[in-house]
Amino acid sequence: MNLQFVYDGTRLYVLEANLRASRTVPFVSKAVGVPLVQIATRMMLGDALADLGFAGVHQLPAPPHVAVKAPVFSMEKLPRAEAAVGPEMKSTGEVMGFGRDVADALHKALVAAGWHGRERSVLVSLADRHKQQAVPLLRDVAAAGFRLVATPNTAAALHRAGIPAEVVTFDQAAELTVGLVLNTPTRGADASRRGFQLRRSALQRRIPCVTSLDTAAAILTALIGAGERATAVHPLVGSALP
């Protein structure tokens, strides 16, 4: 069963529960090294689980790695499509990364999804409600050697917090080449607003665009970690990851 949860800081909500697991089962099978579909098919044909050499998935040893699944989007192909994501699925594909920890696995998944990460720079434009909340994350990002570029109001908030950031106008921001755009919408899906235009510009120039702080924190932590250590690559078959 697939369950989709949302936690708003005080309450846990279930958005959806369904028996469709066409993407989840292959991911879990590859992550733990157990052919779940093959086993389920054999059981439907009359074989017992014990006869197949499995006493139950819950008794499997913990794998020696972390597996992360990351979405792939195609919004740059849809004119005027909103880049900001929400509960409704907008991805058109998925990729998978294996690593020694979450940051390592996520970095590999991002590379597989097309995030090259060669530009160690971040363009930041935040809604007022997110400016103070983003300070600890962006302080760590700047300390890790990333160049921060920000639109005027966001730059002012960063400067007050003692975080260095170059100031650019929205028109200049739309033409910059950076490694990542972090833009939290004030109001989404309004093509007349500058934030929407900034997100569309990033998509059209194939610059990764993130629209939530928790996602940005995970991605930037992975990118910082990738700059501190070599990325190991392992064969999918016949190898246990370190």
Share of the chain above pLDDT 70, in %: 92
pLDDT for position 119: 80
Domain boundaries, the chain: 2-63, 68-228
Q: Which amino acid belongs to residue 123?
A: L
Say how far apart CA 109 and CA 95 lie, in whole Å.
6
Q: Is pLDDT at 187 greater than 80 in this prediction? A: no
Question: Stretch 103-118: mean pLDDT, rounded?
Answer: 86
Question: Stretch 104-119: mean pLDDT, rounded?
Answer: 86
Range list of H helices, the chain = 24-32, 36-44, 102-112, 128-131, 135-143, 152-160, 170-173, 194-204, 213-228
The pLDDT tens digits of the residues spanning 193-202 come to 888 889 988 8
DSSP 23-41: THHHHHHHHHT--HHHHHH
Q: Which two tokens stand for residue 227?
A: 């700059």
Say how far apart CA 218 and CA 95 lie, in whole Å.
16
Highest mean pLDDT (candidates 91-105, 155-169, 188-202): 155-169
| CA triple 32-33-34, angle to 5 deg | 95
CATH number of 68-228: 3.40.50.1380
- In this structure, of 22-26, 91-95, 108-112, 186-190, the range with the lowest mean pLDDT score is 186-190
Q: Which of 92, 89, 97 is nearest to 70 (CA)?
A: 97
Say how far apart CA 70 and CA 27 lie, in whole Å.
11
Of the pLDDT bands very low, low, confident and very high (cuts 50, 70, 90), residue 95 is very high
The pLDDT tens digits of the residues spanning 27-47 come to 888 888 888 888 889 999 999
In this predicted model, which residue has the larger pLDDT, 152 or 6?
152
**72 contacts 114 by C-beta, under 8 angstroms:** yes
The pLDDT tens digits of the residues spanning 54-84 come to 766 566 777 888 999 999 988 888 777 787 8
Q: Which of 105, 104, 103 is nearest to 31 (CA)?
A: 105
